Structure 1
Amino acid sequence: MAPEYRLLAELEAAFDQLIERLEALVSTYAGAPGAAWAMGEGDASSQADADWLRRALLDFWYQDGQDGRATRSYVGLVAADETLMSAVREANAAKSAFAALLRQIREEAAGLIPELKAILPFRHPALHDHLRGQGLARLHLKQCWRAIPLAEAPLARVRLAWYRSGRSIKRLTVREAEALLLGLDQEAPHVRIQQRHLAGIPDGEPLAQVQDQAPLMRANLFYREPLPDGRLRRAMNVALPLFVPSPDGRLPDCNTPPASPPTARTRALRSDARLESEPFLPSLRIYRYRQG
Protein backbone atom coordinates (compact mmCIF):
# COMPACT_ATOMS: atom_id res chain seq x y z
CA MET A 1 0.00 0.00 0.00
CA ALA A 2 1.33 3.44 -0.95
CA PRO A 3 2.25 5.56 2.11
CA GLU A 4 -0.43 8.16 1.40
CA TYR A 5 -3.18 5.54 1.24
CA ARG A 6 -1.89 3.92 4.40
CA LEU A 7 -2.38 7.30 6.07
CA LEU A 8 -5.87 7.54 4.61
CA ALA A 9 -6.74 4.09 5.98
CA GLU A 10 -5.43 5.13 9.39
CA LEU A 11 -7.51 8.29 9.28
CA GLU A 12 -10.63 6.31 8.36
CA ALA A 13 -10.05 4.08 11.38
CA ALA A 14 -9.48 7.13 13.60
CA PHE A 15 -12.72 8.68 12.32
CA ASP A 16 -14.59 5.45 13.11
CA GLN A 17 -13.20 5.44 16.63
CA LEU A 18 -14.12 9.11 17.08
CA ILE A 19 -17.74 8.44 16.11
CA GLU A 20 -17.90 5.37 18.35
CA ARG A 21 -16.60 7.26 21.37
CA LEU A 22 -18.96 10.19 20.83
CA GLU A 23 -21.90 7.82 20.50
CA ALA A 24 -20.75 6.08 23.69
CA LEU A 25 -20.57 9.44 25.47
CA VAL A 26 -24.13 10.32 24.45
CA SER A 27 -25.37 6.85 25.47
CA THR A 28 -23.69 7.22 28.85
CA TYR A 29 -25.45 10.53 29.40
CA ALA A 30 -28.80 9.18 28.21
CA GLY A 31 -28.53 6.26 30.65
CA ALA A 32 -28.03 8.47 33.70
CA PRO A 33 -28.69 12.12 32.78
CA GLY A 34 -27.63 14.88 35.13
CA ALA A 35 -28.78 18.45 34.92
CA ALA A 36 -27.98 20.26 31.67
CA TRP A 37 -28.53 23.69 30.16
CA ALA A 38 -28.22 24.78 26.53
CA MET A 39 -28.25 28.26 25.08
CA GLY A 40 -30.81 28.54 22.30
CA GLU A 41 -30.53 30.57 19.14
CA GLY A 42 -33.64 32.67 19.49
CA ASP A 43 -34.15 32.78 23.24
CA ALA A 44 -32.20 32.37 26.44
CA SER A 45 -32.30 28.58 26.68
CA SER A 46 -33.02 25.46 24.69
CA GLN A 47 -34.09 21.92 25.54
CA ALA A 48 -30.92 20.25 26.80
CA ASP A 49 -31.26 16.48 26.55
CA ALA A 50 -29.45 13.52 24.98
CA ASP A 51 -30.78 14.39 21.50
CA TRP A 52 -29.43 17.94 21.79
CA LEU A 53 -26.11 16.62 23.05
CA ARG A 54 -25.81 14.25 20.12
CA ARG A 55 -26.55 17.04 17.64
CA ALA A 56 -23.96 19.26 19.30
CA LEU A 57 -21.19 16.67 19.41
CA LEU A 58 -21.80 15.13 15.97
CA ASP A 59 -22.26 18.29 13.94
CA PHE A 60 -19.40 17.80 11.51
CA TRP A 61 -20.73 19.58 8.44
CA TYR A 62 -20.36 22.77 6.50
CA GLN A 63 -23.64 24.44 5.73
CA ASP A 64 -24.13 25.84 2.25
CA GLY A 65 -22.34 29.18 2.06
CA GLN A 66 -20.57 28.76 5.41
CA ASP A 67 -17.26 30.61 5.80
CA GLY A 68 -14.55 27.96 5.77
CA ARG A 69 -12.86 29.59 8.79
CA ALA A 70 -16.03 29.54 10.92
CA THR A 71 -17.39 26.80 13.14
CA ARG A 72 -20.83 26.52 14.72
CA SER A 73 -21.10 26.75 18.48
CA TYR A 74 -23.24 24.78 20.92
CA VAL A 75 -22.94 26.57 24.24
CA GLY A 76 -24.18 24.62 27.24
CA LEU A 77 -23.38 23.04 30.60
CA VAL A 78 -23.65 19.37 31.51
CA ALA A 79 -23.38 18.01 35.06
CA ALA A 80 -21.24 14.86 34.82
CA ASP A 81 -20.44 12.00 37.17
CA GLU A 82 -17.07 10.27 36.93
CA THR A 83 -18.31 7.74 34.34
CA LEU A 84 -19.44 10.51 32.03
CA MET A 85 -16.27 12.54 32.60
CA SER A 86 -14.26 9.46 31.63
CA ALA A 87 -16.29 9.15 28.43
CA VAL A 88 -15.54 12.81 27.62
CA ARG A 89 -11.82 12.26 28.15
CA GLU A 90 -11.90 9.20 25.86
CA ALA A 91 -13.73 11.18 23.17
CA ASN A 92 -11.16 13.97 23.41
CA ALA A 93 -8.34 11.43 23.09
CA ALA A 94 -9.96 10.17 19.87
CA LYS A 95 -10.26 13.76 18.62
CA SER A 96 -6.55 14.34 19.33
CA ALA A 97 -5.58 11.18 17.46
CA PHE A 98 -7.73 12.20 14.49
CA ALA A 99 -6.20 15.71 14.47
CA ALA A 100 -2.65 14.33 14.63
CA LEU A 101 -3.23 12.08 11.61
CA LEU A 102 -4.88 14.92 9.74
CA ARG A 103 -1.84 17.15 10.36
CA GLN A 104 0.42 14.39 9.03
CA ILE A 105 -1.68 14.05 5.88
CA ARG A 106 -1.63 17.82 5.31
CA GLU A 107 2.16 17.73 5.54
CA GLU A 108 2.79 14.56 3.50
CA ALA A 109 -0.17 14.11 1.15
CA ALA A 110 -2.30 17.26 1.09
CA GLY A 111 -3.94 16.15 -2.16
CA LEU A 112 -5.89 13.53 -0.22
CA ILE A 113 -7.88 16.11 1.76
CA PRO A 114 -10.72 16.50 -0.77
CA GLU A 115 -11.00 12.72 -1.11
CA LEU A 116 -11.24 12.07 2.61
CA LYS A 117 -13.90 14.79 3.00
CA ALA A 118 -15.96 12.90 0.42
CA ILE A 119 -15.51 9.36 1.70
CA LEU A 120 -15.58 9.67 5.49
CA PRO A 121 -19.33 10.45 5.78
CA PHE A 122 -20.20 7.29 3.81
CA ARG A 123 -18.60 5.15 6.53
CA HIS A 124 -21.51 5.97 8.83
CA PRO A 125 -24.88 5.73 7.04
CA ALA A 126 -26.78 7.67 9.71
CA LEU A 127 -24.37 10.59 9.38
CA HIS A 128 -24.55 10.46 5.59
CA ASP A 129 -28.35 10.45 5.64
CA HIS A 130 -28.20 13.51 7.91
CA LEU A 131 -25.83 15.16 5.45
CA ARG A 132 -28.24 14.62 2.55
CA GLY A 133 -31.42 15.38 4.45
CA GLN A 134 -30.30 18.68 5.95
CA GLY A 135 -28.92 20.22 2.77
CA LEU A 136 -25.42 20.29 4.17
CA ALA A 137 -22.44 20.50 1.89
CA ARG A 138 -19.35 18.61 3.07
CA LEU A 139 -17.31 17.47 6.04
CA HIS A 140 -15.94 20.26 8.26
CA LEU A 141 -12.72 18.81 9.61
CA LYS A 142 -12.20 21.36 12.38
CA GLN A 143 -15.65 20.61 13.79
CA CYS A 144 -14.55 16.95 13.95
CA TRP A 145 -11.43 17.47 16.02
CA ARG A 146 -12.19 20.50 18.22
CA ALA A 147 -12.00 19.39 21.85
CA ILE A 148 -14.95 19.10 24.22
CA PRO A 149 -14.38 21.51 27.14
CA LEU A 150 -14.35 20.08 30.64
CA ALA A 151 -13.61 21.43 34.10
CA GLU A 152 -10.90 19.68 36.10
CA ALA A 153 -12.82 19.86 39.39
CA PRO A 154 -16.27 20.77 40.80
CA LEU A 155 -17.27 24.39 40.31
CA ALA A 156 -18.92 26.92 42.58
CA ARG A 157 -20.10 29.03 39.64
CA VAL A 158 -19.66 29.75 35.93
CA ARG A 159 -19.86 33.15 34.29
CA LEU A 160 -20.40 33.23 30.52
CA ALA A 161 -19.77 36.25 28.28
CA TRP A 162 -19.26 36.96 24.61
CA TYR A 163 -15.79 38.01 23.54
CA ARG A 164 -15.27 39.61 20.13
CA SER A 165 -12.42 42.07 20.57
CA GLY A 166 -9.70 39.86 19.18
CA ARG A 167 -7.90 40.63 15.93
CA SER A 168 -5.09 38.90 14.10
CA ILE A 169 -2.56 41.26 12.51
CA LYS A 170 -0.17 40.09 9.79
CA ARG A 171 2.71 42.36 8.80
CA LEU A 172 3.14 42.75 5.02
CA THR A 173 5.55 44.45 2.64
CA VAL A 174 4.37 46.69 -0.18
CA ARG A 175 5.37 43.99 -2.67
CA GLU A 176 3.32 41.36 -0.84
CA ALA A 177 0.30 43.68 -0.82
CA GLU A 178 0.82 44.31 -4.54
CA ALA A 179 0.80 40.56 -5.21
CA LEU A 180 -2.45 40.18 -3.26
CA LEU A 181 -4.07 42.97 -5.29
CA LEU A 182 -3.01 41.21 -8.49
CA GLY A 183 -5.14 38.27 -7.37
CA LEU A 184 -8.26 40.44 -7.56
CA ASP A 185 -10.29 41.46 -10.61
CA GLN A 186 -7.93 43.79 -12.50
CA GLU A 187 -10.80 45.35 -14.44
CA ALA A 188 -12.65 46.48 -11.32
CA PRO A 189 -12.39 50.26 -10.75
CA HIS A 190 -12.01 49.92 -6.98
CA VAL A 191 -9.05 47.56 -7.45
CA ARG A 192 -7.32 50.00 -9.83
CA ILE A 193 -7.84 52.80 -7.31
CA GLN A 194 -6.20 50.72 -4.58
CA GLN A 195 -3.28 49.88 -6.88
CA ARG A 196 -2.70 53.61 -7.44
CA HIS A 197 -2.80 54.22 -3.69
CA LEU A 198 -0.25 51.47 -3.12
CA ALA A 199 2.03 52.84 -5.84
CA GLY A 200 2.09 56.19 -4.03
CA ILE A 201 3.82 55.00 -0.84
CA PRO A 202 7.48 54.04 -0.29
CA ASP A 203 8.46 50.45 -1.10
CA GLY A 204 9.94 50.02 2.37
CA GLU A 205 6.83 51.04 4.32
CA PRO A 206 5.40 48.19 6.41
CA LEU A 207 1.68 47.41 6.14
CA ALA A 208 -0.67 45.32 8.25
CA GLN A 209 -3.45 42.95 7.18
CA VAL A 210 -6.14 42.70 9.85
CA GLN A 211 -8.59 39.86 10.39
CA ASP A 212 -11.34 40.31 12.98
CA GLN A 213 -11.82 37.15 15.01
CA ALA A 214 -15.24 35.52 15.12
CA PRO A 215 -17.19 36.13 18.36
CA LEU A 216 -16.43 33.55 21.03
CA MET A 217 -18.21 32.52 24.20
CA ARG A 218 -15.80 32.76 27.14
CA ALA A 219 -16.46 30.83 30.33
CA ASN A 220 -14.94 31.95 33.62
CA LEU A 221 -14.81 28.95 35.95
CA PHE A 222 -14.72 29.41 39.73
CA TYR A 223 -13.68 26.25 41.59
CA ARG A 224 -15.11 25.17 44.92
CA GLU A 225 -11.62 24.44 46.22
CA PRO A 226 -8.14 25.44 45.03
CA LEU A 227 -6.58 23.25 42.35
CA PRO A 228 -3.24 21.54 43.12
CA ASP A 229 -1.44 24.56 41.64
CA GLY A 230 -3.39 26.92 43.90
CA ARG A 231 -5.70 28.40 41.26
CA LEU A 232 -9.31 29.14 42.15
CA ARG A 233 -10.44 30.22 38.68
CA ARG A 234 -9.83 29.62 35.02
CA ALA A 235 -11.07 31.10 31.75
CA MET A 236 -11.71 29.09 28.59
CA ASN A 237 -13.49 29.40 25.27
CA VAL A 238 -16.51 27.12 24.99
CA ALA A 239 -17.75 26.26 21.49
CA LEU A 240 -19.17 22.93 22.67
CA PRO A 241 -20.99 21.93 25.87
CA LEU A 242 -18.87 22.31 29.00
CA PHE A 243 -18.86 19.18 31.15
CA VAL A 244 -18.63 19.89 34.87
CA PRO A 245 -17.77 17.27 37.52
CA SER A 246 -20.87 16.91 39.70
CA PRO A 247 -21.31 13.93 42.05
CA ASP A 248 -24.88 15.02 42.86
CA GLY A 249 -25.91 15.65 39.24
CA ARG A 250 -26.53 19.37 39.76
CA LEU A 251 -25.11 22.31 37.84
CA PRO A 252 -23.13 25.11 39.47
CA ASP A 253 -24.58 28.60 39.61
CA CYS A 254 -24.46 30.11 36.11
CA ASN A 255 -25.53 33.34 34.48
CA THR A 256 -27.57 33.50 31.25
CA PRO A 257 -25.69 35.43 28.56
CA PRO A 258 -27.38 37.02 25.53
CA ALA A 259 -28.20 34.45 22.87
CA SER A 260 -26.33 36.48 20.23
CA PRO A 261 -22.99 38.31 20.42
CA PRO A 262 -22.88 42.11 20.52
CA THR A 263 -22.86 43.77 17.13
CA ALA A 264 -19.86 45.95 17.94
CA ARG A 265 -16.70 45.81 19.99
CA THR A 266 -17.45 46.08 23.69
CA ARG A 267 -13.94 47.26 24.56
CA ALA A 268 -12.58 50.64 23.51
CA LEU A 269 -9.69 50.74 21.09
CA ARG A 270 -6.39 51.29 22.85
CA SER A 271 -5.33 54.92 22.84
CA ASP A 272 -1.92 53.85 21.54
CA ALA A 273 -3.31 51.76 18.66
CA ARG A 274 -0.57 51.66 16.05
CA LEU A 275 -2.78 51.29 12.95
CA GLU A 276 -4.72 53.99 11.16
CA SER A 277 -8.46 53.86 11.82
CA GLU A 278 -9.46 53.44 8.15
CA PRO A 279 -8.15 50.66 5.88
CA PHE A 280 -5.66 51.70 3.22
CA LEU A 281 -6.60 48.81 0.90
CA PRO A 282 -10.18 47.97 1.92
CA SER A 283 -10.56 44.94 -0.36
CA LEU A 284 -7.73 43.21 1.50
CA ARG A 285 -8.27 44.68 5.00
CA ILE A 286 -4.78 46.20 4.80
CA TYR A 287 -3.90 49.21 6.99
CA ARG A 288 -1.01 51.62 7.22
CA TYR A 289 0.77 52.18 10.51
CA ARG A 290 0.34 55.56 12.17
CA GLN A 291 3.23 57.92 11.48
CA GLY A 292 5.17 59.35 14.39
Structure 2
Amino acid sequence: MAETNANPLSPSAYQVLLQLEQQFDHLLETIDAAVSLYEQQLPASWVFHQSPPANDWLRKALFDMWHEQDQDGRETRNYIAIVAANDELLAAIGAVNQAKANFSGLLQHIKQTFPNALSDAKSRLPRRHPHVDEVLRRTGLARLHLKQSWRQLPIAQAPVSRVRFAWYSSGRSIKRLSVQEAEHKLLQLDTDAPHIRIQLRKLAGIPSGEVLAQVQTQAPLMRANLFFTEPLEDGHTRRALNAAMPIFVPDNNQRLPHINLPALHPPTTRTRARRRDEKLEQDVFLPSLRVYRYR
Protein backbone atom coordinates (compact mmCIF):
# COMPACT_ATOMS: atom_id res chain seq x y z
CA MET A 1 0.00 0.00 0.00
CA ALA A 2 1.34 3.43 -0.86
CA GLU A 3 1.89 5.89 1.94
CA THR A 4 -0.34 8.88 1.40
CA ASN A 5 0.50 11.14 4.36
CA ALA A 6 3.43 12.50 6.31
CA ASN A 7 2.80 10.10 9.20
CA PRO A 8 2.87 6.63 7.68
CA LEU A 9 0.95 3.95 9.51
CA SER A 10 2.75 1.08 11.18
CA PRO A 11 2.65 -2.41 9.60
CA SER A 12 0.28 -3.58 12.33
CA ALA A 13 -2.06 -0.65 11.63
CA TYR A 14 -2.05 -1.47 7.91
CA GLN A 15 -2.85 -5.07 8.77
CA VAL A 16 -5.85 -4.15 10.86
CA LEU A 17 -7.06 -1.84 8.07
CA LEU A 18 -6.91 -4.81 5.70
CA GLN A 19 -9.05 -6.76 8.17
CA LEU A 20 -11.48 -3.85 8.31
CA GLU A 21 -11.78 -3.78 4.52
CA GLN A 22 -12.45 -7.51 4.51
CA GLN A 23 -15.13 -7.15 7.17
CA PHE A 24 -16.72 -4.25 5.30
CA ASP A 25 -16.78 -6.33 2.11
CA HIS A 26 -18.38 -9.16 4.09
CA LEU A 27 -20.97 -6.75 5.49
CA LEU A 28 -21.88 -5.59 1.98
CA GLU A 29 -22.14 -9.21 0.85
CA THR A 30 -24.44 -10.20 3.72
CA ILE A 31 -26.66 -7.17 3.10
CA ASP A 32 -26.88 -8.00 -0.61
CA ALA A 33 -27.72 -11.64 0.18
CA ALA A 34 -30.49 -10.64 2.60
CA VAL A 35 -31.94 -8.03 0.24
CA SER A 36 -31.82 -10.41 -2.72
CA LEU A 37 -33.65 -13.03 -0.68
CA TYR A 38 -36.27 -10.45 0.29
CA GLU A 39 -36.71 -9.44 -3.35
CA GLN A 40 -37.15 -13.09 -4.35
CA GLN A 41 -39.70 -13.81 -1.63
CA LEU A 42 -41.49 -10.43 -1.53
CA PRO A 43 -42.93 -11.08 1.94
CA ALA A 44 -45.75 -8.99 3.38
CA SER A 45 -44.30 -5.58 4.24
CA TRP A 46 -45.47 -2.25 5.60
CA VAL A 47 -43.33 0.85 4.93
CA PHE A 48 -44.07 4.16 6.63
CA HIS A 49 -46.22 6.25 4.30
CA GLN A 50 -45.44 4.10 1.24
CA SER A 51 -48.46 2.27 -0.15
CA PRO A 52 -47.51 0.08 -1.85
CA PRO A 53 -43.80 0.02 -0.95
CA ALA A 54 -41.32 0.67 -3.76
CA ASN A 55 -39.71 -2.50 -5.10
CA ASP A 56 -36.23 -1.43 -4.02
CA TRP A 57 -37.09 0.17 -0.67
CA LEU A 58 -35.22 -2.38 1.44
CA ARG A 59 -32.11 -2.25 -0.75
CA LYS A 60 -32.02 1.52 -0.42
CA ALA A 61 -32.57 1.34 3.33
CA LEU A 62 -29.89 -1.23 4.13
CA PHE A 63 -27.27 0.16 1.75
CA ASP A 64 -27.73 3.74 3.02
CA MET A 65 -24.41 4.15 4.81
CA TRP A 66 -23.19 7.50 3.52
CA HIS A 67 -23.13 11.07 4.76
CA GLU A 68 -24.99 13.53 2.62
CA GLN A 69 -23.17 16.78 1.98
CA ASP A 70 -23.59 19.22 4.90
CA GLN A 71 -25.29 16.52 6.99
CA ASP A 72 -24.85 16.72 10.74
CA GLY A 73 -22.72 13.69 11.61
CA ARG A 74 -24.88 12.99 14.68
CA GLU A 75 -28.01 12.56 12.56
CA THR A 76 -29.09 9.33 10.91
CA ARG A 77 -31.81 8.73 8.33
CA ASN A 78 -34.75 6.59 9.37
CA TYR A 79 -36.42 3.70 7.53
CA ILE A 80 -39.56 2.83 9.47
CA ALA A 81 -41.08 -0.46 8.30
CA ILE A 82 -42.37 -3.89 9.33
CA VAL A 83 -41.51 -7.09 7.44
CA ALA A 84 -43.19 -10.46 8.07
CA ALA A 85 -40.16 -12.71 7.55
CA ASN A 86 -39.88 -16.50 7.36
CA ASP A 87 -37.08 -18.39 9.09
CA GLU A 88 -34.76 -18.17 6.08
CA LEU A 89 -35.07 -14.39 5.84
CA LEU A 90 -34.76 -13.97 9.61
CA ALA A 91 -31.52 -15.94 9.50
CA ALA A 92 -30.22 -13.73 6.68
CA ILE A 93 -31.06 -10.58 8.68
CA GLY A 94 -29.36 -12.13 11.71
CA ALA A 95 -26.23 -12.61 9.61
CA VAL A 96 -26.35 -8.93 8.64
CA ASN A 97 -26.56 -7.95 12.31
CA GLN A 98 -23.59 -10.18 13.15
CA ALA A 99 -21.54 -8.66 10.32
CA LYS A 100 -22.47 -5.16 11.55
CA ALA A 101 -21.42 -6.06 15.10
CA ASN A 102 -18.07 -7.46 13.89
CA PHE A 103 -17.45 -4.36 11.77
CA SER A 104 -18.33 -2.03 14.66
CA GLY A 105 -16.15 -3.99 17.07
CA LEU A 106 -13.12 -3.78 14.81
CA LEU A 107 -13.67 -0.05 14.27
CA GLN A 108 -13.72 0.49 18.03
CA HIS A 109 -10.51 -1.54 18.32
CA ILE A 110 -8.86 0.65 15.67
CA LYS A 111 -10.07 3.81 17.43
CA GLN A 112 -8.52 2.70 20.72
CA THR A 113 -5.34 1.05 19.42
CA PHE A 114 -4.53 2.90 16.19
CA PRO A 115 -6.33 6.27 16.42
CA ASN A 116 -4.30 7.72 13.55
CA ALA A 117 -5.58 4.97 11.26
CA LEU A 118 -9.26 5.83 11.71
CA SER A 119 -9.30 8.75 9.26
CA ASP A 120 -7.44 6.62 6.72
CA ALA A 121 -10.02 3.86 7.16
CA LYS A 122 -12.91 6.28 6.62
CA SER A 123 -11.36 7.50 3.37
CA ARG A 124 -10.66 3.99 2.09
CA LEU A 125 -13.92 2.18 2.92
CA PRO A 126 -16.24 4.16 0.62
CA ARG A 127 -14.21 2.88 -2.32
CA ARG A 128 -15.27 -0.66 -1.35
CA HIS A 129 -18.94 0.02 -2.15
CA PRO A 130 -19.84 -1.78 -5.41
CA HIS A 131 -21.63 1.25 -6.83
CA VAL A 132 -19.80 4.03 -5.04
CA ASP A 133 -18.90 6.05 -8.16
CA GLU A 134 -22.52 6.06 -9.29
CA VAL A 135 -23.79 6.84 -5.79
CA LEU A 136 -21.42 9.74 -5.27
CA ARG A 137 -22.12 11.20 -8.70
CA ARG A 138 -25.90 10.88 -8.48
CA THR A 139 -26.61 12.05 -4.94
CA GLY A 140 -23.56 13.96 -3.85
CA LEU A 141 -22.90 11.62 -0.95
CA ALA A 142 -19.46 12.23 0.45
CA ARG A 143 -18.38 10.03 3.35
CA LEU A 144 -19.15 6.74 5.00
CA HIS A 145 -21.58 7.30 7.88
CA LEU A 146 -20.31 4.93 10.56
CA LYS A 147 -23.42 5.12 12.74
CA GLN A 148 -25.62 4.16 9.79
CA SER A 149 -23.29 1.37 8.75
CA TRP A 150 -23.36 -0.53 12.05
CA ARG A 151 -26.85 0.12 13.43
CA GLN A 152 -28.69 -3.14 14.05
CA LEU A 153 -31.87 -4.35 12.37
CA PRO A 154 -34.53 -5.14 15.02
CA ILE A 155 -35.77 -8.74 15.02
CA ALA A 156 -38.83 -9.63 17.10
CA GLN A 157 -38.24 -12.48 19.54
CA ALA A 158 -41.62 -14.11 18.83
CA PRO A 159 -44.73 -13.70 16.62
CA VAL A 160 -46.32 -10.27 16.96
CA SER A 161 -50.06 -9.56 16.98
CA ARG A 162 -49.90 -5.77 16.71
CA VAL A 163 -47.45 -2.88 16.48
CA ARG A 164 -48.12 0.59 17.84
CA PHE A 165 -45.92 3.40 16.53
CA ALA A 166 -45.62 6.78 18.24
CA TRP A 167 -43.33 9.77 17.93
CA TYR A 168 -41.12 10.41 20.94
CA SER A 169 -40.06 14.04 20.82
CA SER A 170 -39.20 14.96 24.41
CA GLY A 171 -36.17 12.77 24.95
CA ARG A 172 -32.95 14.13 26.40
CA SER A 173 -29.66 12.86 27.72
CA ILE A 174 -28.31 14.15 31.04
CA LYS A 175 -24.64 14.07 32.02
CA ARG A 176 -23.61 14.90 35.58
CA LEU A 177 -20.83 17.49 35.89
CA SER A 178 -18.81 18.77 38.83
CA VAL A 179 -18.30 22.50 39.29
CA GLN A 180 -14.65 22.01 38.34
CA GLU A 181 -15.58 20.20 35.11
CA ALA A 182 -18.05 22.93 34.17
CA GLU A 183 -15.42 25.59 34.85
CA HIS A 184 -12.91 23.74 32.67
CA LYS A 185 -15.42 23.59 29.81
CA LEU A 186 -16.19 27.32 30.10
CA LEU A 187 -12.48 28.16 30.08
CA GLN A 188 -12.18 26.37 26.73
CA LEU A 189 -14.52 28.99 25.28
CA ASP A 190 -13.84 32.68 24.60
CA THR A 191 -13.17 33.92 28.13
CA ASP A 192 -13.00 37.54 26.88
CA ALA A 193 -16.68 37.38 25.90
CA PRO A 194 -18.96 39.09 28.45
CA HIS A 195 -21.47 36.22 28.54
CA ILE A 196 -18.72 33.71 29.38
CA ARG A 197 -17.38 35.91 32.17
CA ILE A 198 -20.90 36.21 33.60
CA GLN A 199 -21.27 32.41 33.62
CA LEU A 200 -17.87 31.97 35.28
CA ARG A 201 -18.94 34.38 38.03
CA LYS A 202 -22.22 32.50 38.50
CA LEU A 203 -20.30 29.26 38.76
CA ALA A 204 -17.95 30.73 41.35
CA GLY A 205 -20.94 31.66 43.49
CA ILE A 206 -22.16 28.11 44.14
CA PRO A 207 -20.66 25.43 46.44
CA SER A 208 -17.66 23.69 44.89
CA GLY A 209 -19.11 20.29 45.76
CA GLU A 210 -22.44 20.83 43.98
CA VAL A 211 -23.31 18.44 41.15
CA LEU A 212 -24.62 19.99 37.93
CA ALA A 213 -26.44 18.50 34.94
CA GLN A 214 -25.51 19.00 31.28
CA VAL A 215 -28.58 18.39 29.13
CA GLN A 216 -28.65 17.42 25.46
CA THR A 217 -32.05 17.43 23.79
CA GLN A 218 -32.41 14.45 21.48
CA ALA A 219 -33.88 14.58 18.01
CA PRO A 220 -37.46 13.26 17.65
CA LEU A 221 -37.59 9.53 17.01
CA MET A 222 -40.21 6.92 16.26
CA ARG A 223 -40.83 4.29 18.91
CA ALA A 224 -42.55 0.97 18.31
CA ASN A 225 -44.40 -1.16 20.85
CA LEU A 226 -44.51 -4.81 19.76
CA PHE A 227 -47.29 -6.91 21.30
CA PHE A 228 -46.53 -10.64 21.19
CA THR A 229 -49.16 -13.27 20.50
CA GLU A 230 -48.02 -15.17 23.60
CA PRO A 231 -45.90 -14.20 26.64
CA LEU A 232 -42.16 -14.64 26.26
CA GLU A 233 -40.13 -16.92 28.52
CA ASP A 234 -39.55 -14.00 30.88
CA GLY A 235 -43.31 -13.34 31.02
CA HIS A 236 -43.23 -10.11 29.02
CA THR A 237 -46.02 -9.60 26.50
CA ARG A 238 -44.61 -6.55 24.72
CA ARG A 239 -41.37 -4.86 23.86
CA ALA A 240 -40.65 -1.19 23.14
CA LEU A 241 -37.84 -0.21 20.79
CA ASN A 242 -36.60 2.58 18.55
CA ALA A 243 -37.88 2.12 15.02
CA ALA A 244 -35.13 3.81 13.00
CA MET A 245 -34.64 0.69 10.85
CA PRO A 246 -37.05 -1.94 9.45
CA ILE A 247 -38.36 -4.32 12.08
CA PHE A 248 -38.46 -7.99 11.11
CA VAL A 249 -41.18 -10.07 12.78
CA PRO A 250 -41.71 -13.84 12.42
CA ASP A 251 -44.00 -14.75 9.55
CA ASN A 252 -47.52 -15.44 10.81
CA ASN A 253 -49.12 -17.26 7.87
CA GLN A 254 -47.64 -14.59 5.58
CA ARG A 255 -49.58 -11.88 7.42
CA LEU A 256 -48.47 -8.63 8.97
CA PRO A 257 -49.47 -7.76 12.53
CA HIS A 258 -52.03 -5.00 13.00
CA ILE A 259 -50.20 -1.66 12.60
CA ASN A 260 -51.41 1.84 13.46
CA LEU A 261 -50.59 4.77 11.17
CA PRO A 262 -48.65 7.48 13.02
CA ALA A 263 -48.41 11.07 11.83
CA LEU A 264 -45.98 11.77 9.02
CA HIS A 265 -44.03 14.27 11.14
CA PRO A 266 -43.31 14.48 14.88
CA PRO A 267 -45.37 16.94 16.94
CA THR A 268 -43.95 20.45 17.17
CA THR A 269 -44.91 20.85 20.82
CA ARG A 270 -44.47 18.67 23.86
CA THR A 271 -47.28 16.11 24.05
CA ARG A 272 -46.44 14.61 27.43
CA ALA A 273 -46.97 16.46 30.70
CA ARG A 274 -43.83 17.42 32.55
CA ARG A 275 -42.97 15.00 35.31
CA ARG A 276 -43.91 16.43 38.68
CA ASP A 277 -40.73 15.02 40.13
CA GLU A 278 -38.37 16.59 37.58
CA LYS A 279 -35.18 17.22 39.51
CA LEU A 280 -33.70 20.00 37.36
CA GLU A 281 -34.44 23.69 37.63
CA GLN A 282 -36.54 25.01 34.76
CA ASP A 283 -34.11 27.79 33.80
CA VAL A 284 -30.70 26.96 32.39
CA PHE A 285 -27.81 27.90 34.69
CA LEU A 286 -24.94 27.99 32.19
CA PRO A 287 -26.49 28.57 28.74
CA SER A 288 -23.26 28.08 26.79
CA LEU A 289 -22.93 24.54 28.15
CA ARG A 290 -26.66 23.70 28.51
CA VAL A 291 -25.96 23.13 32.21
CA TYR A 292 -28.73 23.13 34.82
CA ARG A 293 -28.74 23.01 38.60
CA TYR A 294 -30.65 20.34 40.48
CA ARG A 295 -33.55 21.56 42.60
TM-score of the two chains, using structure 1 as the length reference: 0.91
Q: Is the counterpart of residue 225 in structure 1 residue 219 in structure 2?
A: no
Q: Which residue in 2 is equivalent to 1:158?
A: 163
1:6 matched residue in structure 2: 15
Q: What amino acid is the match of 1:13?
A: Q
Q: Is it true that 1:216 corresponds to 2:221 in the alignment?
A: yes
Matched position secondary structure for 2:23: helix
C-alpha distance in 2 between matches for 1:251 and 1:121? 36
Give SS of 2:143's match. Answer: strand
Residue in 1 that maps onto 2:36:
27
Measured in 2, the distance between the counterparts of 1:185 and 1:66 equals 26
User: Which structure 2 residues correspond to residues 104-115 of structure 1 after superposition, within 5 A?
Assistant: 104-115=109-120
Q: 2:113 and 2:219 mapped to 1: Cα distance? A: 30
Q: Quick one: distance in 2 between partners of 1:171 and 1:264? A: 27
CA distance in 2, matches of 1:64, 1:7: 29
Alignment map for 1:16-95 (pairs within 5 Å): 16-39=25-48, 44-45=49-50, 47-95=52-100
Match in the other structure for 1:283: 288
Q: What stretches of structure 1 of length at least 5 have no aligned partner?
A: none
The alpha-carbon deviation at position 187 of structure 1 amounts to: 4.0
Tell me the CA shift for residue 222 of structure 1: 1.2
Amino acid at match of 2:44: A
Q: Are 1:176 and 2:181 counterparts? A: yes
Kept in 2: contact 1:29–1:50 (CA 8 A): no
Q: Distance in 2 between matches of 1:208 and 1:223?
A: 38
Question: Does the C-alpha gap of structure 1 residues 4 and 28 become closer, same or farther in structure 2, counting only changes over 3 Å?
Answer: same
Structure 2 segments unaligned to the other structure (5+ residues): 1-9
Query: Which amino acid is 1:35 matched to?
Result: A
Provide, for residues 93-136 of structure 1, a one-character-per-residue CA deviation record: whole Å limited to 9, x for no partner: 11111111111111111221111111101012403431342122
* Distance in structure 1 (CA, Å) of the matches to 2:281 and 2:203: 15
Aligned mates of 2:169, 2:116 — CA distance in 1: 34
Among all aligned residue pairs of Structure 1 and Structure 2, give the percentage whose two residues are the same amino acid.
Answer: 55
Is the contact between residue 221 and residue 235 of structure 1 (CA under 8 Å) also seen in structure 2? yes
- Distance in 2, Cα, partners of 1:71 & 1:275: 29
Residues 245-260 of structure 1 aligned to structure 2 (within 5 Å)? 245-260=250-265
RMSD, aligned CA: 1.9
Distance 2:51 2:194 in 1: 48
